[in-house]
Structures are given as structure tokens and as C-alpha cells.
Amino acid sequence: MQRLITIVKNEDGAMLIMASVMILILLTIISISASRTANTEIQIASNEYFYQKNFYCAEGAAIETVDRMEQLVSVDTNDHDWLMNETEAVDSDSNLFGFWNLNDDEREDSDAVPEASSVCSSHAELMSVHNGVLPGSSLDMSKPTKHVFSIYGQSDDRGLAMIKFSYTKAY
């Protein structure tokens, strides 16, 4: 009995237990920090994925618009909903961005409607704006006239990407 009381009163191993608890606390803090960092990296990778997806879908929609433009025989904007004159509703890129986000009821003044792209049909849309005749081109009626277009592609899957480039074609 005397020996048991002596072992219990002996404090030689207390420092080892305290050091073990301190190491466990330190490892817990490090693991929580690493877990939060990993979650942040996963969110960054997810955002990058959707950015790239939107960018390439918008680019594909714009290229699809160019393919459609190559098929056109005339510049008659009444034949195609996705082809509009600059004077209809859009005179700058910021106006087009606002026009694009209107619903069908709000867009009733214009005949132009963004059309779903076959590239990414659920998220991408395309549109072309006829800017008129290329300045400096020939006015001779026997020669084809060069027309300038602004080609737009947009994709909005958990984010937004819009691509614009200029396109010239003789009709």
C-alpha cells in the first residue's frame, strides 16, 4: 500500500504528458489550417473551371456566328433574329450587355433576339450587330460592298463571359 501511494505522488512523468498534449494541440491547429487552405484551393480550381468553360463556350458561339455569316447571301436583318442593325437597340457594347440581359417582354421594341448556340446550347448565346458599310469601300454598284459586323458570343454558367470581335464580309 505504501508503494502505491509513493508511485501516485511521484510527478516524474507529468512533463511527458504535458509535452504530448501540447504537440497534439499544435498538430490539431496545423491540420485545421491545412484543411481550410485545401478548401480554398478547391474553390479557386472550381472558379477557374467555370471561367474557362464560359470563355470557350462564348468563343464557340461567336465562331458559330461567323459560320452562319458565311452562309448568308444578303445582309437583310429581317431574315434572322440573331442579326440586328446597330440602330435598332444597340449603339455601344454596354448597351448590348444590358439589352442581352432583358427578358422577351422588355425586348419587344426590337426584332433582334440572342439565339442559343449549338456549341453549348444550355448556356451560350450568339448575336451579330450590323455596323454598316466599311468606310472607304467602293460605292460602285457593280462590285460587292464590304459590310462590317460586331460578332458576340456569351455564356453564363455560374459566371459570365462575353466575347466580341469584328467581322467583315462583302455582299
The CA distance from 66 to 92, in Å, is: 20
Whether the per-residue pLDDT at 4 is higher than 80: the answer is no
pTM: 0.72
Per-residue model confidence (pLDDT) at position 2: 67
Which range, 15-19, 58-62, 146-150, is most confident?
58-62
pLDDT tens per residue, range 28-68:
999 999 999 999 999 999 999 999 999 999 999 999 999 98
